[in-house]
């Protein structure tokens, strides 16, 4: 649903003042983590709190605006895709709205991140099957700007890119190819549907903490992530995580992938327990 943003006064209303629903307001941003995470969270909160949920994205830009002129789709179209393919909350309705030309002061409202499962949820239509003959790579090699250029405080998300020229990603790619793997890169400029199809069929996914790695988590693909941050363990709980490619034993890739698959099944069980236990301190 597209319309102009609510007023600041409306945003401040308590959930029970807004049609007896849990209302979550979210500052609109450009990354896949800023899309997958809040939509998953909204569905989880609907189940956890036994209530219908309105998730409202608030963007400063106008409807139909592309982040970059060459982009194949808008951020808002990506939100629609994720919202339509997310596994829906059982028994409760979740409505994802998008508002434009309004700036939120806070990043979000009614946000409870007490558990690592608060925003873990998977696609209902693009589940991983591994039927392809390749692995998918999510790297920063082709990014025009690296974290060090625009967000030095986030360099921990991509330790392979945080090397002279980002050459560690090239080395990692060459080593994987030398082991006989075909590789496909998943780029941010790919349409979200195409990116999901590549990730869905990949034998496994190698990436960093960001970008389409969030899509890989969304579809439940086996994950090997390079990161130096503790937050990666909670954001991608079933992934195998290393700081550098040299920390990874290349001959043990099959073992890492199997461990990631086993971890995924474990965390799916834990997620189900989390969703079925009543929330004593309900957000509503």
Same domain, 85 and 142: no
Q: pLDDT tens, 85-94?
A: 999 999 999 9
Average pLDDT over residues 130-146: 89
Residue 212 domain flag: yes
Whole-number pLDDT of residue 281: 54
Same domain, 100 and 142: no
Same domain, 71 and 30: yes
Report the chain's C-alpha Rg in angstroms. Answer: 19
Whole-number pLDDT of residue 8: 52
Q: In what order do the strands lie in the sheet with 53-58?
A: 2-4, 94-100, 53-58, 22-27
Whole-number pLDDT of residue 16: 46
Last residue of a domain, one of 96, 111, 126: 111
Same domain, 145 and 91: no
Average pLDDT over residues 45-65: 94
Residue 122 domain flag: no
- For residue 154, pLDDT beyond 60: yes
- For residue 5, pLDDT beyond 50: no
- For residue 259, pLDDT beyond 60: yes
Residue 125 domain flag: no
Same domain, 23 and 95: yes
Q: Read off the pLDDT band of 165 (50, 70, 90).
A: low
Same domain, 70 and 154: no
Note whether 191 and 66 are within 8 A (CB).
Answer: no
Q: What percent of the chain has pLDDT over 90?
A: 73
Residue 277 domain flag: no
Residue 182 domain flag: yes
Last residue of a domain, one of 76, 111, 146: 111
Q: Read off the pLDDT band of 152 (50, 70, 90).
A: confident
Residue 282 domain flag: no
Note whether 101 and 60 are within 8 A (CB).
Answer: yes
Same domain, 179 and 59: no
The distance between the two most distant Cα atoms of the chain, rounded to a whole number of Å, is 60
Same domain, 142 and 264: yes
Whole-number pLDDT of residue 282: 62
**pTM of the predicted structure, to 2 decimals:** 0.90
Mean pLDDT lowest among 165-174, 191-200, 225-234, 272-281: 272-281
Residue 121 domain flag: no
The per-residue pLDDT of the chain, averaged, comes to: 90
Residue 90 domain flag: yes
Q: pLDDT tens, 76-129?
A: 999 999 999 999 999 999 999 999 998 999 999 999 999 999 999 999 988 999
Cα separations in angstroms, 84 against 57, 63, 118, 122, 235: 15, 19, 19, 12, 22
Same domain, 107 and 232: no
CATH number at residue 157: 3.40.50
Q: Name the residue range of residue 198's domain.
A: 134-270
- For residue 48, pLDDT beyond 70: yes
Same domain, 249 and 184: yes
Q: Read off the pLDDT band of 17 (50, 70, 90).
A: very low
Same domain, 63 and 181: no
As for how many domains the chain has, the answer is 2
Q: Read off the pLDDT band of 25 (50, 70, 90).
A: very high
**Distance between CA atoms of residues 265 and 100, nearest Å:** 39
Same domain, 64 and 27: yes
């Amino acid at each position: 649903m597209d319309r102009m943003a609510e007023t600041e006064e409306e945003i401040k209303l308590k959930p029970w003042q807004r049609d007896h629903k849990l209302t979550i307001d979210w500052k609109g941003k450009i990354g896949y983590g800023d899309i997958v995470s809040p939509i998953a969270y909204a569905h989880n909160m609907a189940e956890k709190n036994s209530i219908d949920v309105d998730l409202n994205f608030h963007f400063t830009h106008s409807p139909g605006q592309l982040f970059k002129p060459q982009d194949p789709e808008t951020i808002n179209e990506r939100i629609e895709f994720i919202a339509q393919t997310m596994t829906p909350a059982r028994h409760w309705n979740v409505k994802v709205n998008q508002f434009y030309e309004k700036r939120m002061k806070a990043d979000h409202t009614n946000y409870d991140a007490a558990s690592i499962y608060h925003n873990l949820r998977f696609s209902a239509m693009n589940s991983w099957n591994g039927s392809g003959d390749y692995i998918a790579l999510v790297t920063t090699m082709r990014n025009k700007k690296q974290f060090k250029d625009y967000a030095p405080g986030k360099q921990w998300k991509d330790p392979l890119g945080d090397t002279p020229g980002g050459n560690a990603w090239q080395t990692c790619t060459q080593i994987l190819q030398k082991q006989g793997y075909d590789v496909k890169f998943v780029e941010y400029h790919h349409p979200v549907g195409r990116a999901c199809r590549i990730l869905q069929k990949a034998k496994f996914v190698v990436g960093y903490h960001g970008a389409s790695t969030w899509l890989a988590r969304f579809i439940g693909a086996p994950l090997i992530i390079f990161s130096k941050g503790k937050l990666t363990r909670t954001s991608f709980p079933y992934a195998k995580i290393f700081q550098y490619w040299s920390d990874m034993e290349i001959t043990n890739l099959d073992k890492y992938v199997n461990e990631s698959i086993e971890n995924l099944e474990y965390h799916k069980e834990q997620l189900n327990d989390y969703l079925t236990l009543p929330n004593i301190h309900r957000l509503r």
